[in-house]
Every structure is written in structure tokens, then in C-alpha cells.
Structure 1
């Protein structure tokens, strides 16, 4: 959910602007793909730790999450300044750590009857299909429609973030979300981040120059990961209900 803080800034930058980076999406996509490969490797390593050293996973998960958050802000700042040679290894490390922190939900998916490896493949395929459709839609939005959609999705994601924080706080006190509500939250997350994917293809060419492909790639990567997480959550909730 790290990219939710970028929406308001992106809206301000995009308002009244024509394309400043018409080729930034094309340049960013290979780095998105490479980041996802590294994420898959990190997830594989995390699952290996869960299986072989289960007591070690949670401490390393917390450590990886802290480093991941720090790297996100530092790497994004460096990339936005155009220092790609320094930002690239930081973003690569971020992708690996992101995979490690994803391994928990992937492990649950693999252990849930009716989801398993097939469900993970469905989630990944769903993200890919969404991005193909989102590129076609987002690239052809008018200025008025693009800004309206961006503001609407922004408000929705902020509301979703508030719900997720509340859900996490309740779980600390032993109050867990009923299955029907988890299905609703997960379904809303899928819907909103599909919208974010459309917004990315509208906003990014109006926000980043062609040489700022790394921060654009980071934004698309985060959208893909969040969409993947919510699709998996939805599949787990649907198949794991009592």
C-alpha cells in the first residue's frame, strides 16, 4: 500500500499538463518485469525459510519490512532526481525484500484448499490482463476524465487504507474479520487497484520525463503487487470460508 501517498502529489503535477514523458511507460516496463522476477525469487526464499526455519521467519519478516520501507522512500527520491545508476541496485534490493514479505500470504494461499499454485497463477495472470486493459484505457483518457478518475480512485484507496489499518488494530486484540467482510474488503481492493492501474497509465506520462523511467516503474510495480495481494486475499477468503 506504499503508493497511496503519491496520489495527491500526482494529481497536482498532472493538472493542466500535457505529456512530459510520452515514452516513459515503454522504458519503464522492462524494469517492472525485472522487479517482479526478483520479487518471485524473494518469495521463493521466504517460503523456504517458513518451511525449514519457521521460528526465524517472523523476526526476519519484521526486519525485511522495515528495511523495505526505508529503501522505498530513499530509492524513490534518488530515482526522481535522475540518479538511475544509484537507484537501480536499491530498487532491485527493494524488490527482493518485497518478495520476502509477500511470502507469508503466498504460503497461506498454497496451504488453502482450492487456491494453491493454481490460484497464485490466476492472481498473476489477472494482474497481467488488468495491466494490458489498463494501458489501453488509461492512455486514451481525456484530461477531464483522467483527473476525475484519479481523484475518485484516490479517495477510494485512502478509505481502503483506513479500513485495513482498523482491521490490523482489531486483530491485535483478537478480533478478526468475518469471512463475508473479508471477501468484501478484498473485492473492493481488487476493484480499486484495477482502477489505480488505469490511473498509472494516465498519470505517469504527465508526471515523469522519459529519463525518469525508474520512479515510473516503481509506481507500476507497486500497483501490480497490491493488485496481486488483493486477488490472493479474495481467493483465500472465498476458498477458506467455513
Structure 2
């Protein structure tokens, strides 16, 4: 799961509840779409490496993950500073690396009976539908409801991030999450990131000006990718057996 610091930064910056960028989301959407296309390309490339040379994939996966995490902080900082000529290639590279590290989960989904390509399509379509609904809800939240939801989702995502880190840590010692618990964690993840999608449409226009569309696009991209990941994890868990 991607780091939550971009979400927390947006929360801190939304000090005044008036709209400062009413068109920032519309300006950001083309970049969100472009990032998702690059992510799909990165996933396709990762699947190719995984199928042809699994050993090489595992080595490059960890390298890509470390670079991706570092690049996230660099790219988000550059984007917030408004240096678009530098931020764009950094964000494009970040999107490709995100796709590459996502390819392992996609590969597992393709091999899981009852999920496959149809399940991946359902996860992607569900994300799109969630964003359409979230736009209607988030754009019409009152100030008190919007800030309350933002704080609740923020705390929930931080807790979820800790749980996922614990899962990864235990897996190194051969301890894996039982299916029923994985279903629960994934279901909570879907719920939280659906809430984060609503929060994006409330908080981003109150955080960024219309010309600050790149950091807004990064926030929306992270929400979409994490929602996709947890929907896919949920589908895999439901169709798996201990």
C-alpha cells in the first residue's frame, strides 16, 4: 500500500474551508488517467518478466519498491512546489514503478480460480463507479461533515497501513494471514479507500489552487490504486481456500 503522507499533508493544508481551487479536480483528471495508463503498462511489463524469469522478477521487485517509495516523496515534494517540468517525468516514472510492483498481485489474481481477468476488470470498473459516486457525495458535504469524515478516514488508513506492514513482516517468518482475516482486512481497506475517494472531492478543492493540479492528481491516483488493490485482494481472498 502506498504511503499515506500525501493524504495527511492535504489534511494539514486544508485550514480554511473555502474553495481555493474549484476546478483543480477537473484539471487533475487527465493526469490521473495518464498515470493509470502508465501503471497498466508497468503491470504488463512486470507480468512479462514474472512469467519468463520469476527469479529476476523478485530481485527487481524489491529494487523497484524501494525506488518507488523514495520517488514518491521526491515527486510529491516537487509537485507541491509547482515545478511541473520536473514533477511530470518523476510522476510518470512513479506510475510505471507502481504498475511493476502491482504485477505480482495481478499475477496471483489471474491464477486464482473465480477471479482471473474478469475479476481484474470488475475491480477496475468498481473503482471507476466509486469515483463517480464519490464526486457527487464529496462535492456536497458540509464543512463539519467533510472534516469529520476526513479525520476518520485518515486515522483508519494509518491503522490499516500498520496492519499491512505487520502482515508483510509476519510473512517473512512464514506466518500468513488466514483467509477469514484477509477477507476482513481487505473489506476494511475497500471501505476506507472508498471513503478516501469521497474525501478527495471534498478536501482537494479546499487545499490546492486550480494550477496545483499535479499534487491533487497524485492524491487521487493513490486513492484509486489502493482501492483497486484492496478490491482485488478481497476477490482473491473470497475465492481462495486455506
Same fold? TM cut 0.5: yes
2:180 maps to 180
Matched, 1:77 2:77: yes
2:87 maps to 87
- The structural deviation recorded for 1:68 is 1.0
2:130 maps to 130
Give distance in 1, aligned partners of 2:193 and 2:90: 25
- The structural deviation recorded for 1:3 is 4.4
Contact 1:15/1:147 (<8 A) preserved: no
Contact 1:23/1:210 (<8 A) preserved: yes
Give distance in 1, aligned partners of 2:104 and 2:40: 13
Give distance in 2, aligned partners of 1:161 and 1:18: 30
Matched, 1:153 2:153: yes
- The structural deviation recorded for 1:7 is 3.5
2:211 maps to 211
Give distance in 2, aligned partners of 1:34 and 1:6: 19
Aligned counterparts, 1:100-139, within 5 A: 100-139=100-139
Give distance in 1, aligned partners of 2:9 and 2:75: 17
Contact 1:71/1:94 (<8 A) preserved: yes
- The structural deviation recorded for 1:56 is 0.4
- The structural deviation recorded for 1:10 is 2.3
Q: How many residues align?
A: 242
Give distance in 2, aligned partners of 1:36 and 1:28: 13
2:240 maps to 240
Deviations 1:68-111 (A, max 9, x none): 11211111111111111111111111111110000000000000
Deviations 1:112-166 (A, max 9, x none): 0000000000000000000000111111111100000001111111111111111
Give distance in 2, aligned partners of 1:154 and 1:86: 29
Matched, 1:5 2:5: yes
2:222 maps to 222
Q: Where does the alignment leave 5 or more consecutive residues of structure 2 unmatched?
A: none
- The range that moved more, 155-164 or 9-18, is 9-18
Aligned counterparts, 1:184-199, within 5 A: 184-199=184-199
SS, match of residue 19 in structure 2 = coil
Instruction: Give me the CA root mean square deviation.
Output: 1.1
Q: Where does the alignment leave 5 or more consecutive residues of structure 1 unmatched?
A: none
Give distance in 2, aligned partners of 1:241 and 1:92: 37
SS, match of residue 173 in structure 1 = coil
- The structural deviation recorded for 1:12 is 2.6
- The structural deviation recorded for 1:230 is 0.3
1:162 maps to 162
Give distance in 1, aligned partners of 2:116 and 2:7: 34
Contact 1:3/1:223 (<8 A) preserved: no
Distance 1:31 1:101, change over 3 A: same
Give distance in 1, aligned partners of 2:49 and 2:9: 38
- TM-score between the two structures when normalised by the length of structure 2: 0.97
Give distance in 2, aligned partners of 1:64 and 1:140: 39
